[in-house]
Structure 1
């Protein structure tokens, strides 16, 4: 049933899949990864063998082929055994670097059984596709030449598979995911009552419908520090921070949602604050309180933040299925807010900052057009965990100073653009900022940032550099497998503690916002007090009690 050489190739890729990547894997994810890797190796070798036979290149006699297979099996199986024995150590090494507890027990047997099951299911699916191709080419061969029948049969089989996958399985899965995430928004949920303050979004006089805001928006509006808490921290009179959020269900048109946001900003006098942040949420609409809470403490509550939701999906799914949604929404908001801001007298308008996390960083970058802002630029931007397709991020990386690393570049000495990580604060070089301050915060262990589509056949550029403290020194490149490893890493990128992977810690936001927004009268002692107040004891955000 199975061909020996393709099976050995599959086992070789299973061995490679057990090596560490950016994010630690449990036995379930490792079993899925190994099963897919084995299938990929099997199919790739089958394909090469088919080409070999088509070109009528001589092959070994059956007896010699059997001997060759037996000889090849020895090192392949030896390598597999070695990698299976080391896999727990490799995973625990990454977990230790990310301050995670070691694996409590080895589930090697379960992982290998899952690997075999995944491979068998995918193998049978492949045989079904092969049977479809054979049926089509044989039917066609009754009417056209055999060569033409083979080519046409292959094309038809591929078309049927693509249509069934794209318009059938994928569309169904997307519909289920979208419905489940929409349900998780708790639209029209009466358990979270609307605010009674007129100045709050969703309040009695608000232009935004509370029932259509969704849970992430409601959490954002009701969360954060109140003025009295900020006053207790700073020792000075504080303002109530102003938060404006428009839910996806408010209207189906992104331009209409953006107009509602702008009208709400005008109604609540957002443009009269000292600091104005135009934020783009993550895929689900989530706004990380660790970032916004910290900023409001720094500026004594004199902050207005506006955001508009564009999706219900988790960022990796929204990145694939709703690529344009975030880009269109943030662009619409940017045009309206920036034009209104620019129309105000320069000495009577707030400092304007762009901010986004994950998919929100991508859409925020997309809406940022420096050519339109040459005469009247924003004050800065703070982009966290920028996804790999972000054009501006990639262009900036390509413009890095010679000799600076890919994972933490230096661009023109850091006057306008800087990069930071959990180990490298933004002001580490002591360089003075220019007129505009743009900061990228990223972890070397974040696969959302450092996934590389070309890793299917070549090593990503960052793999040639010395590894960061949160990256395993045992990480290595294997064609096909590295691509699959990074894809799995993206799926589990938020399974790490804050400060690693795609989870960014409060102290990193604090360092970032201090550098970008330069709070007046802020001291190093204030920084330490705020870090002690935020992100401790498992809190998401700051202790606002």
Structure 2
């Protein structure tokens, strides 16, 4: 094969795939990458800091460059275009257009970010740090470019070796697949696993640490006391904090101006027993020991990945029931929920199923007139695990009373079913499911009472914010506009946000890591929104908006 023929075929004369297909200088690649960089500055679901914006822009700049180079390489390989350099004037025009496009986008970036901040009730930016964003984007792009060059050289080397026994194009395919496999092995087997081990180890050490000024409870009816089946040290950091924060009967009674009880909180840490079944059994026995089945309300709560239970939800529950409630939870991981979702979202299913089965089996054996109202709860990954453990067809004969699930993540089949089968005309961010007798969804605006039918024997309540990327992320975002991004959108979603192929996918994926930090938006759920959701799930019929406001102010003052 002559050199000219080889170049037209997309390979070098010695049969190797040139690295230039991926990383060679290309004005067209720069223009395509700059277009994606510019689009990355447009509004998404959450506000973005300059560092995050710069790194995201650099990644999309590299992606656009790669897409252009890959398209040129495929066209040349198919014989649709010759691999020749464009005229100098055309290249200069492309680079000039790219520069102007970047400057225009950076100038508009502040207004775009302010539109997101306004939807979240945040003040406008004082500055946009355009130079810092552009610098970070360029550095990130160059680093990815270096990685691409190394990848291309590795592919060349493997192709060259394979060409001794295979035809040129087959050798090229072998080189590309081999380089891809080695890169994936390096990233997944070395880098990713090393990072996960570091996160897991640091989280485990933090979970085991008991501050010297934190003493176990003296009340024998509290988990972690000397009389408890679970040692104080075995509750873990999140469990100790949750149990120690239990509001007293005096505090709840003072708020209501009448009698109240001290809530029951049962928690079993990850180190309390070696298996999921043993931890669930330990929690169940402790729940029986402290009289959890003798309360008016019993809640099975699945924590987030780290074992955390949101005080906004749990304190609201305790006050709303005047303390006549027992809550039980089992820790299943040390990893934060976003990490758990990426690594193994089903981790924790054994604990959730075992605990539900034990509690539900005992609960159904109690006299109906004497047993508590049984309700399920979970936030984020905890909501997903709780939903996955509910055997709806098996409990129809004797259903539990309800559930309150907040921030159901995108991987939840139950949440997706509710959205996909919502009533025509209802928005994806607050779907109306059926006649409302079984499932109702709410957000900051409530809307739990806007249904045609009364509640049935089971009340399933979904609370989600329309700006929560953990709820609304979807893999299809790369190629399809989501329903929640139409004209009828959530009140805390920027009216200027638009869908762009690949770009919106990357934006929302990054938004998932930025979803906490602004109460009442994103993935940061608040007591004033938990309260009406709990009232609906628990069947507290006389709960009013004034009660919600007063309780939210009280809890905010107590935590402050």
Normalization by structure 2: what TM-score?
Answer: 0.92
**Alpha-carbon distance in 1 for matches of 2:489, 2:540:** 34
**Alpha-carbon distance in 1 for matches of 2:506, 2:119:** 22
* Displacement of 1:97: 2.1
Extract unaligned runs of 5+ from structure 2: 1-23
Q: Secondary structure in 2 aligned to 1:535?
A: helix
On the 8 A contact 1:39/1:119 being kept in 2, the answer is yes
Please list the CA deviations of residues 224-276 of structure 1 after superposition, one character each: whole Å capped at 9, or x if unmatched: 32001111122322111000011111123111110110010111111111000
* Displacement of 1:388: 0.4
Question: Is 1:296–2:315 an aligned residue pair?
Answer: no
Q: Secondary structure in 1 aligned to 2:496?
A: coil
**Alpha-carbon distance in 2 for matches of 1:74, 1:204:** 74
Q: Secondary structure in 2 aligned to 1:413?
A: coil
Equivalent position of 1:505 in the other structure: 526
1:352 to 370, 374, 377: 374
Where do 1:83-98 residues align within 5 Å?
83-98=105-120
Q: How many residue pairs align between the two structures?
A: 537
On the 8 A contact 2:435/2:452 being kept in 1, the answer is no
Question: Is 1:342–2:379 an aligned residue pair?
Answer: no
Extract unaligned runs of 5+ from structure 1: none
* Displacement of 1:99: 2.1
On the 8 A contact 2:429/2:489 being kept in 1, the answer is no
**Alpha-carbon distance in 1 for matches of 2:55, 2:120:** 23
1:479 to 465, 482, 501: 501
* Displacement of 1:523: 5.2
Q: Secondary structure in 2 aligned to 1:534?
A: helix
2:46 to 16, 23, 34: 23
RMSD: 1.8
Equivalent position of 1:145 in the other structure: 167
* Displacement of 1:430: 7.5
On the 8 A contact 2:264/2:326 being kept in 1, the answer is yes
On the 8 A contact 1:507/1:534 being kept in 2, the answer is no
Q: Secondary structure in 2 aligned to 1:532?
A: helix
* Displacement of 1:314: 1.3
Equivalent position of 1:517 in the other structure: 538
Please list the CA deviations of residues 510-529 of structure 1 after superposition, one character each: whole Å capped at 9, or x if unmatched: 11111221237655554443
Equivalent position of 1:14 in the other structure: 37
**Alpha-carbon distance in 1 for matches of 2:203, 2:25:** 41
Normalization by structure 1: what TM-score?
Answer: 0.95
Please list the CA deviations of residues 345-374 of structure 1 after superposition, one character each: whole Å capped at 9, or x if unmatched: 212211000000111111111111211111
Equivalent position of 1:132 in the other structure: 154
**Alpha-carbon distance in 2 for matches of 1:354, 1:419:** 15
**Alpha-carbon distance in 1 for matches of 2:209, 2:317:** 29
Where do 1:357-372 residues align within 5 Å?
357-372=379-394
Question: Is 1:454–2:493 an aligned residue pair?
Answer: no
Equivalent position of 2:68 in the other structure: 45
Could you say which structure has the greater relative contact order, defined with CA pairs below 8 angstroms and 6 or more residues apart? 1
* Displacement of 1:213: 1.5
Equivalent position of 2:291 in the other structure: 269
**Alpha-carbon distance in 1 for matches of 2:551, 2:376:** 22
**Alpha-carbon distance in 1 for matches of 2:127, 2:418:** 44
Q: Secondary structure in 2 aligned to 1:285?
A: coil
On the 8 A contact 2:30/2:98 being kept in 1, the answer is no
Question: Is 1:254–2:273 an aligned residue pair?
Answer: no
